[in-house]
Homo-oligomer: A and B are copies of this chain.
């Protein structure tokens, strides 16, 4: 065998990959993935892609797209110009660039526990010493962050304050302000990931925490994969001026620049009435799917689990009333019922440290599949608990 790097030892087989592969089998009802519904993607019009997008482009991204992104961010209160916008090959790429910029083996990094799996995996891959921060009903436990900062200096804090993945949590305005104040005070850079902000079904505060910090460095990550077309692989980051030039160099080293036809297409949509109408339609459709799943969960899971109806995003996050390793439960559910969901354990910095949670995606399954699949899953859990 060739001699690999130390970090390659982190490239173990991913539970997610295995689960998603298993859900490809015929007859499986899956609540595991997080894909947008294909029939809710808009039909893009490729017919007038400009010829010059065939040539190499700028590492920073297409000027028109950067401007449109900056305009939208300014409306959210983020103090930025287009010169702070870096177009990426999906916002996934921001995780890679953030890791490269900040993480050496054993570098402390703070994240919500539970948190987004791909972020966990990326930071782990680069050797981070990941410190989980508990969340509350309304946001982040800032006392825990302060306590952590007395022990180590995290290179950054990665947060998903709006429709958090997997928990669905949306920080209150007061919590957003407190987090911003705390990070400013502790001088810890903020990496704020906001893939789901437009998938909003109820009135909630969604002010980016990046718009509230006053002194510390920050990175705001966004994507068009949940609203327009994930297959284009176009996302972005906006960074405070001290960080931005570093990210441009990292982007250039990673893949020179993101594909230009995709950038051009997205620039055609942003800020148009058609895009606003599309977002409205998307919200209406997903709200209805969420409400359907909520009603079905109330029927089948009320005595089994606790959960909050999520105000946005694509997931329900359940806490079973009786403890259970949901990775084992998944195996049984797949084998006995061909039902897939995401077990909660992998979302925690120390896998297996917290058990008894399940994540259900509600964007893909039909109401019939929800009723059938969740009903049978509830039956299975009842059996196991007796």
- Cβ contacts A78-105/B at 8 Å (1 or 0 each): 0000000000111011011000111110
Q: Does A17 contact B (CB under 8 A)?
A: yes
Which A residues from 42 to 90 make CB contacts under 8 A with B? 43-44, 46-47, 49, 51-57, 88-90
Q: Does A355 contact B (CB under 8 A)?
A: no
Q: Does A252 contact B (CB under 8 A)?
A: yes
Question: Cβ of B2 and Cβ of A256 under 8 Å apart?
Answer: no
State which of A224-232, A328-336, A378-386 sits at the interface with chain B. A224-232
State which of A7-15, A291-299, A312-320 sits at the interface with chain B. A7-15
Question: Cβ of B55 and Cβ of A102 under 8 Å apart?
Answer: no
Main secondary structure of the interface of A (DSSP, over half): loop
Known interface pairs A243-B2, A253-B118. Does A258 touch B232 (Cβ–Cβ under 8 Å)?
Answer: no
A261 CA / B49 CA spacing, docked (Å): 12
Question: Cβ of B53 and Cβ of A231 under 8 Å apart?
Answer: yes
Q: Does A257 contact B (CB under 8 A)?
A: yes
Q: Does A167 contact B (CB under 8 A)?
A: no
A83 CA / B161 CA spacing, docked (Å): 40
A243 CA / B257 CA spacing, docked (Å): 26
- Cβ contacts A3-26/B at 8 Å (1 or 0 each): 111111001001001000000000
- A164–chain B nearest beta-carbon distance, Å: 20
Q: Does A125 contact B (CB under 8 A)?
A: yes
- Count, chain A residues at interface, CB 8 A: 74
A100 CA / B4 CA spacing, docked (Å): 9
Chain B residues lying within 8 Å of A53, measured Cβ to Cβ, are: 231
Q: Does A281 contact B (CB under 8 A)?
A: no
Q: Does A153 contact B (CB under 8 A)?
A: yes
Known interface pairs A153-B3, A189-B2, A250-B11. Does A255 touch B55 (Cβ–Cβ under 8 Å)?
Answer: no
Question: Cβ of B249 and Cβ of A107 under 8 Å apart?
Answer: no
Q: Does A30 contact B (CB under 8 A)?
A: no
Question: Cβ of B254 and Cβ of A11 under 8 Å apart?
Answer: no
Known interface pairs A125-B253, A242-B1, A255-B255. Does A57 touch B104 (Cβ–Cβ under 8 Å)?
Answer: no
Question: Cβ of B52 and Cβ of A8 under 8 Å apart?
Answer: no
Q: Does A38 contact B (CB under 8 A)?
A: yes
Question: Cβ of B96 and Cβ of A253 under 8 Å apart?
Answer: yes
- Cβ contacts A100-131/B at 8 Å (1 or 0 each): 11111001000000000010011001100000
Question: Cβ of B49 and Cβ of A46 under 8 Å apart?
Answer: yes
Q: Does A156 contact B (CB under 8 A)?
A: yes
Question: Cβ of A43 and Cβ of B51 under 8 Å apart?
Answer: yes
- A298–chain B nearest beta-carbon distance, Å: 31
Question: Cβ of B35 and Cβ of A55 under 8 Å apart?
Answer: yes
Partner of A231, one of B2, B102, B261: B261
Q: Does A197 contact B (CB under 8 A)?
A: no
Q: Does A233 contact B (CB under 8 A)?
A: yes
Partner of A122, one of B155, B253, B260: B253
- A87–chain B nearest beta-carbon distance, Å: 11
Taking A36-B55, A261-B262 as given, write out 5 further A-B residue pairs in contact, using a Cβ cutoff of 8 Å, ordered by the A residue number: A14-B249, A46-B46, A89-B255, A118-B253, A121-B253
Residue contacts A-B, CB under 8 angstroms, 9 given: A2-B155, A5-B155, A8-B246, A14-B252, A35-B55, A41-B51, A57-B231, A89-B255, A261-B261
7 nearest CB pairs, A to B: A54-B229, A231-B260, A46-B46, A89-B255, A233-B259, A259-B259, A56-B230
